[in-house]
Chains A and B, each alone.
Chain A
Amino acid sequence: MQSPMHSDSTFFSRQGWLSFVVLAAILLLVLPAAFDIFRLNLIGKYLTYAFVALGLVLCWGMGGILSLGQGIFFGLGGYCMAMFLKLEASTPEATKIQSTPGIPDFMDWNQLTELPVWWQPFHSFGFTLVAIIAVPALFAFVIGAAMFKRRVGGVYFAIITQAVAAIMTILIIGQQGYTGGVNGITDLRTLLGWDIRTDDAKLILYFVCAALLLGCVLLAQAINISKFGRLLVAMRDREDRVRFSGYDVSNFKIFIFCLAAAFSAIGGAMFTLQVGFMSPSFVGIVPSIEMVIFCAVGGRLSLFGAVYGALIVNAAKTSFSESFPELWLFAMGGLFIAVVMAFPNGLAGLYREHAEPWLRRLLKRSVARPAVAAAANTAN
């Protein structure tokens, strides 16, 4: 596995800036211009998975920690947002036909007569915004601290996170009165009085989502080029040597795991806003492991690859399930095997091996400036 190379201390290499500008142009100009609002809303949904994939690049690609529980954090972020929106939708006037007006409808159906205490703070938007990041990050901290301090890693960590994802799903489905059960939290209408179901709102939310994603890419890159990023790669490749050099490896691991969780949670919150509901089917084992494949297809070492991977795999999933539903699992299974056996560096690896040399030749011929070739030599 090759690690990204950085020739100097600049934030992005020239190639990297180019990639960033291309990504920003695609997300902010090309896609909104090319698709109608229905399709754009779908793309916005795919982009929320790109947040998770981005976190996995940091956590798995750079840090070597494979988490099969990113759905937990995606779900926690999404549920925090959904709880706020649900409370806003459940005004006493809107719910006056219930036996207890003013509480969410599913609570009323489950014979709850008052709002549970832990739902109360979600009346406040400020608290919700903090909770979207803080709750998943705190949860990740607890899991991470318990595991990494005892030097549990690798496959054990993967299995435990998967088990936690399973527990989470069973819990959400089982506690119907508090969580909405298997249907999740549905029928969300407004955000601070602003109707999120109109086409205009969907367009704005798409741009918010894309802008947040680009911000996260920049933040991830900042980590990537920092000393911490290099330590992370060093830890992945030779953990013992980093430990013997005097670093507390577990703290770095906990931090990156929490950061990946926070990214996923932002994705989850944006998912709730754009899709209009949140349910346990985005939390469990299957969605969590699918999120890993988004990252793997894009290239587990490439931040940009993660975004493209999430877009492409999800677009493929939608079009396959529309036309050949029975083929989708074959395609998905084949993708898992192929990406592991044949293309361990995903699309980004393919690009680096095949498209980049070609591009470089093209640039050389047209610009004929040695500086460009030197810049292109350093992969983003």
Chain B
Amino acid sequence: MIGDYTFGEFTSILAMQGFAGLILFSVFVLMALGLAIIFGQMGVINMAHGEFMILGAYVTYICSHIVTEYVPGLFPVYFFIAMALAFVAAFALGVLVEWGMIRFLYRRPLDTLLATWGLSLILQQVYRSVFGAREVGVTLPDWMMGSIALTDMIEIPINGLFVMALTLIVSFAVYFILFRSAWGKQVRAVLQNRVMAGAVGINTKRVDALTFGLGCGIAGIAGSAFTMIGSTGPTAGQLYIVDTFLVVVFGGAGSLIGTIASAFTISQAQSTMEFFMSGSMAKVLTLLTVVGILMLRPQGLFTLNIRR
């Protein structure tokens, strides 16, 4: 197979494939960050995480329609507004869900899993009833279309670059919020010792609600970014939930660096293998490898030493 290409062609294919992997990596990181916060920091299994993501995607879709209808002048920058709104919508729904459902289930993680699965079914049907069963896409502003030609053969799509930049910003924001802010300190204190955190005056219930909301809000941003590279349907969230969970578990729950590292490994492995075999076999092999490694090393790649 390799013999058919010249060396130059081969390296550019590798570069393009690597770049496709980087875009996949960015989306994985965006999706997994929210989950890493909810699952890693709080120990809650949120099976509806994909649906929070789709909520963000639909908010972006609505925004693109409203902007083109009423304020076409804003069109070049509507994406930033849409992203903020997606965050707010997903955050609000997240806090609501935490208040109405999750807070009763903190001691029963398996039951959280089932309850949030029920929530995801309901949300899916809501999307289907409101937006129809067909997949929808958004129109990108002109400056996001097209690609930059690095050499004759290597072209880099601008929307991919944008998603990557966004991922970088969101990752740093999450890092600062969790590890450099007073509120982040409270979150980590609650994670390490809930009772003592409460005893020193931290409102653990409020921290829980906001942490869950933050995780969901980031899922909303991920969904918004997702519209840039693909179309959105009511059941799209379910397609990614297992991948996302594997990313988080593989990285080691509770470790943000681990999440990013595992997202990188999985996405690069998958996109590289996709070049050599069919997409479905590449996915099977990637997932099998991840499951295999998890069987040998259940704690994931990176671990935090936490006394529970």
Q: Could you list which residues of chain A lie within 8 angstroms of chain B, going by C-beta atoms?
A: 60, 66, 68, 146-147, 150-152, 154-156, 158-160, 162-164, 166-167, 170-171, 173-174, 285-286, 289, 292-293, 296, 326, 329-330, 332-337, 339-341, 344
Output the least CB separation between B11 and chain A (Å). Answer: 29
Q: Which residues of A contact B101 (CB under 8 A)?
A: 337, 341
A326 adjacent to B125 (CB under 8 Å): yes
Task: State whether the Cβ of B9 lies closer than 8 Å to any Cβ in chain A.
Answer: no
Task: State whether the Cβ of B120 lies closer than 8 Å to any Cβ in chain A.
Answer: yes
B114 adjacent to A293 (CB under 8 Å): yes
Most-contacted residue by chain B among A162, A164, A333, A341 (CB, 10 A): A333
B280 adjacent to A155 (CB under 8 Å): no
Task: State whether the Cβ of B295 lies closer than 8 Å to any Cβ in chain A.
Answer: yes
B residues 94-139 in Cβ contact with A at 8 Å: 101, 104-105, 108-115, 117-125, 128-129
**Known contacts A146-B295, A341-B101; is-contact A162 B122 (Cβ 8 Å):** no
Q: List 30 A-B contacts (CB under 8 A).
A: A66-B110, A68-B113, A147-B298, A151-B298, A155-B45, A155-B110, A156-B249, A158-B113, A159-B45, A159-B245, A159-B246, A159-B249, A163-B242, A163-B287, A163-B290, A170-B283, A170-B287, A329-B122, A329-B124, A329-B125, A329-B128, A333-B117, A333-B118, A333-B119, A333-B120, A333-B123, A337-B119, A339-B114, A340-B105, A341-B115
**Known contacts A164-B291, A170-B284; is-contact A333 B113 (Cβ 8 Å):** no
Output the least CB separation between A204 and chain B (Å). Answer: 37
Q: Which residues of B contact A286 (CB under 8 A)?
A: 238
Chain B residue at minimal CB-CB distance from A328: B125
Q: Could you list which residues of chain B lie within 8 angstroms of chain A, going by C-beta atoms?
A: 43, 45, 101, 104-105, 108-115, 117-125, 128-129, 238, 242, 245-246, 249, 278, 280-281, 283-284, 287-288, 290-291, 294-296, 298
Q: Helix, strand, loop or mixed for chain B's interface?
A: helix
* CB-based closest 3 A-B pairs: A336-B118, A174-B280, A333-B121
In angstroms, Cα B128 to Cα A209, docked, is: 37
In angstroms, Cα B282 to Cα A146, docked, is: 23
**Known contacts A66-B110, A155-B110; is-contact A166 B287 (Cβ 8 Å):** yes
Q: Which residues of A contact B119 (CB under 8 A)?
A: 333, 336-337
A334 adjacent to B298 (CB under 8 Å): no
Which of B43, B104, B113, B295 is in CB contact (< 8 Å) with A341? Answer: B104
Known A-B contacts: A160-B294, A167-B288. Give 12 more (CB < 8 A): A147-B298, A150-B298, A159-B242, A163-B246, A173-B280, A326-B125, A329-B122, A329-B128, A332-B118, A340-B105, A340-B115, A340-B118
In angstroms, Cα B278 to Cα A174, docked, is: 9
A329 adjacent to B121 (CB under 8 Å): yes
In angstroms, Cα B231 to Cα A111, docked, is: 34
B287 adjacent to A330 (CB under 8 Å): no
In angstroms, Cα B119 to Cα A173, docked, is: 28
Q: Which residues of B contact A336 (CB under 8 A)?
A: 114-115, 117-119, 121
A154 adjacent to B111 (CB under 8 Å): no
Q: Which residues of A contact B118 (CB under 8 A)?
A: 332-337, 340
